[in-house]
Amino acid sequence: MPVPVFAVVGHPNKGKSSIVSTLAHDDSVAVSPVPGTTLHCRRYPMTVDGKELYVLVDTPGFQRARRVLSHLRSGETTAAERPDAVRAFLEKHGGDDAFRNEVELLRPIAEGAGILYVVDGSVPYGREYEAEMEILRWTGQPRMALINPIGDTDHIGEWKAALDQYFSVVRVFDAVMADFHKQTELLHAFGQLKEEWRAPLESAVGLLAADREQRRGHAARTVAETIGEMLALKVEEKLPPDRPPEPLKSGLLARYRGELQKLEGRCRDRVEEIHDHHNVKRIEDELEILDEEHLFSSETWSIFGLSKAQIVGFGAIGGGAAGGLIDVALGGASFLAGALVGAGIGASTAAFAADRLVEVKVMHLSLGRRMLVAGPTTNVNFPHIVFGRARLHRALVSGRRHAQRDELDTLRTVEEAAPPLTGSEKRRLERSFARIRRGRDTVTATEELAQVIEGIFAKDDNSARDVRD
Ligand SMILES: Nc1nc2c(ncn2[C@@H]2O[C@H](COP(=O)(O)OP(=O)(O)OP(=O)(O)O)[C@@H](O)[C@H]2O)c(=O)[nH]1
Ligand SMILES: [Mg+2]
């Protein structure tokens, strides 16, 4: 059975391509503030696992609607004959440059596509749109109007009053802000346009929801594997005989941090690919600031989106202390020791390793050879920081509409994009990190971590929806 096809039509520069991009989850659709960006109609199928669910056709804007309408009206036609009159117009003027845009946008409709007529609800309604709407009525195809509020002023009421006279369904749909929930609502509404589209569109909604879950799992595994690689990371360099190690240490540390940075960058690229965002430009800081001096500065904490209490809490759990957070409000490396001692945790806990990202050690090999080695890190807070960053990035990417073309700003705290972790989530994370660090059966340990992370991501997605609703 052919899948439902929708031609997205309207005045130039009203967000037609943006709607196509958001609903087809395709960021390759050309969107720009310059009117006349789309010159030809083009099909964008929404597919899941290679199966087409529906197709959106992007079209150029109306250019000479009044002239086209007077052509249509020039013959004697009954209402029943109007669709044929549109077809006759296309045949007669198919190669006519004056009606290039109208021919492009009407052709998919004449071939059976449903109509999504897009208007900007932030500008006043005007009579110039009436010729466009009348032409669309002549096609006789099922049609819906979408009011896309591009700016802040609200003219939605007057638009509704006019659109109701031409369209059986009128909806407000913000191409750039509409989340997954709003998109599925719209697909249900498309199903009301024509009986035979209802079942395929309802099944499309189910498949899209399952697909979203699958992507979430995939992203969770990618993040878990990256954390595993980062925790195991080790860089080495030969230490020539009679060379003191000290001058070489900083170079090796820089390489170590560079490798971490690469791993994080690769993880972010993959998470974006998983969500079909292929052209994202990120505003990001470098994980490089994870050095000893910065690791416990309050500035670093806020950048990583972790509160001071959380950091200390992780340290305490990592040190084998009873769970729960130790609430402290001071900054600086020394307070950690104080807080732990104050909380009755012995000075020998692993948490004390936390004031270093990584140590550079000299390894003595056979025949007097020596190696300088950095890593793996024993810093207890490190995987939490890496996870906090990955979680923020994933939340931003999974909530991003494909019509969004601004840079992805990752310089925020994770609290802005996701709810706080529960004590149990933190403990489960900590246990998985510790298991991965032990280095035995890392495949199972990574899979376990992926499951914990997937649960957290699912919660993040639900809370994002609650906030927007
Ligand atoms: N803020 C905001 N901007 C939007 C929205 N929809 C579209 N835009 C912007 O409006 C401009 C035009 O969007 P397009 O989707 O290219 O419009 P179009 O109707 O396809 O334009 P043509 O192809 O030129 O006819 C772009 O700069 C979009 O980013 C929206 O809902 N909110
Ligand atoms: Mg366009």
Q: What is the pLDDT of residues 368-425, one digit of tens each?
A: 889 999 989 887 778 888 898 899 999 999 999 999 999 999 887 777 788 888 889 9
Beta bridge partner(s), residue 362: 372
* Ligand 1 pocket, mutate which of 9, 19, 23, 31 (most atoms under 8 A from CB): 31
Ligand index nearest the alpha carbon of residue 31:
1
How far apart are the CA of 64 and the centre of ligand 1, in A?
Answer: 20
Q: Would the CB of 150 count as within 6 Å of ligand 1?
A: yes
| Contact yes or no for 366/385 (Cβ under 8 A) | no
DSSP 62-98: PSSHHHHHHHHHTS---GGGHHHHHHHHHHHHTT-GG
pLDDT of residue 356: 63
Torsion of CA 401, 407, 408, 410, to 10 degrees: -160
| Contact yes or no for 16/9 (Cβ under 8 A) | yes
Q: Which two tokens stand for residue 95?
A: 């190669």
**Is residue 280 over pLDDT 60?**
yes
* Helix, strand, or coil (residue 433): helix
Instruction: Give the pLDDT confidence of 150-194 residue by residue, as tens digits.
Output: 999 999 999 999 999 999 999 999 999 999 999 999 999 999 999
* Ligand 1 pocket, mutate which of 44, 150, 279 (most atoms under 8 A from CB): 150
pLDDT of residue 341: 39
Range in 235-239, 415-419, 448-452 the model is least confident about: 415-419
Range in 32-41, 297-306, 458-467 the model is least confident about: 297-306
Query: Rounded to whole angstroms, what are the CA distances from 273 to 25, 222, 398, 453?
Result: 12, 11, 11, 19
- Which is more confidently placed, 129 or 342? 129
Range in 80-89, 160-169, 408-417, 437-446 the model is least confident about: 408-417
At 203, is the pLDDT very low, low, confident or very high (cuts 50, 70, 90)?
very high
In angstroms, the CA 63 to CA 99 distance is: 8
Q: Would the CB of 377 count as within 6 Å of ligand 1?
A: no
Q: Left, alpha or beta for 117 (phi > 0: left; psi -120 to 50: alpha)?
A: beta
Q: What is the largest CA-CA distance in the chain?
A: 102
Q: Would the CB of 174 count as within 6 Å of ligand 1?
A: yes
Ligand index nearest the alpha carbon of residue 33:
1
Instruction: Give the pLDDT confidence of 287-329 residue by residue, as tens digits.
Output: 654 555 555 444 444 444 454 445 444 444 333 332 333 323 2
pLDDT of residue 326: 31
- Which is more confidently placed, 194 or 334? 194
In angstroms, the CA 437 to CA 431 distance is: 10
Residue type, 279: N
- Which is more confidently placed, 101 or 245? 101
How far apart are the CA of 395 and the centre of ligand 1, in A?
Answer: 24
Exposure on the CB side of residue 15, measured as CA atoms within 13 A: 29
| Contact yes or no for 163/129 (Cβ under 8 A) | no
**Is residue 338 over pLDDT 50?**
no
Can you state the percent helix, strand and coil of the chain, rounding each to 5? 55, 10, 35
**Is residue 105 over pLDDT 50?**
yes
Ligand 1 atom 6, closest CA: 15
- Which is more confidently placed, 2 or 94? 94
How far apart are the CA of 127 and the centre of ligand 1, in A?
Answer: 21
**Is residue 198 over pLDDT 90?**
yes
* Ligand 1 pocket, mutate which of 8, 11, 13 (most atoms under 8 A from CB): 13
pLDDT of residue 417: 82
Would you give the distance in Å from CA 176 to the centre of its chain? 12
pLDDT of residue 413: 74
Q: What is the DSSP letter of 4?
A: P
Q: What is the DSSP letter of 172?
A: E
Average of per-residue pLDDT values in the chain: 86
| Contact yes or no for 42/21 (Cβ under 8 A) | no
How far apart are the CA of 11 and the centre of ligand 2, in A?
Answer: 10
Q: Would the CB of 22 count as within 6 Å of ligand 1?
A: no
Residue type, 462: N
**Is residue 54 over pLDDT 90?**
yes
pLDDT of residue 301: 47
At 344, is the pLDDT very low, low, confident or very high (cuts 50, 70, 90)?
very low
- Which is more confidently placed, 322 or 365? 365
Query: Rounded to whole angstroms, what are the CA distances from 418 to 177, 305, 386, 399?
Result: 18, 10, 15, 11
Range in 228-242, 379-393, 437-451 the model is least confident about: 379-393
Ligand index nearest the alpha carbon of residue 146:
1
Ligand index nearest the alpha carbon of residue 12:
1
Q: Would the CB of 401 count as within 6 Å of ligand 1?
A: no
In angstroms, the CA 19 to CA 23 distance is: 6
Return the residue matching tokens 């369904």.
169
How far apart are the CA of 29 and the centre of ligand 2, in A?
Answer: 8
In angstroms, the CA 325 to CA 455 distance is: 21
Would you give the distance in Å from CA 247 to the centre of its chain? 43
Q: Would the CB of 63 count as within 6 Å of ligand 1?
A: no
Q: From the CA of 12, give the closest atom in ligand 1.
A: 25
**191 CB neighbour count, 10 Å cutoff:** 20
Q: What is the DSSP letter of 119?
A: E
pLDDT of residue 327: 29
Mean pLDDT of the region 219-227: 98
Percent of the chain with pLDDT over 70: 84
Q: Assess whether the previous peptide bond of 376 is cis (omega < 30° from 0).
A: yes
Q: Would the CB of 396 count as within 6 Å of ligand 1?
A: no
Query: Rounded to whole angstroms, what are the CA distances from 443 to 62, 179, 268, 429, 433?
Result: 57, 35, 21, 16, 13
pLDDT of residue 466: 56
How far apart are the CA of 17 and the centre of ligand 1, in A?
Answer: 7
Q: From the CA of 31, give the closest atom in ligand 1.
A: 16
- Which is more confidently placed, 198 or 77? 198
How far apart are the CA of 403 and the centre of ligand 1, in A?
Answer: 9
How far apart are the CA of 176 and the centre of ligand 1, in A?
Answer: 9
Mean pLDDT of the region 38-42: 97
Q: Which residues contact 323 (CB under 8 A, 6 or more apart)?
A: 317, 423, 426, 427
pLDDT of residue 97: 95
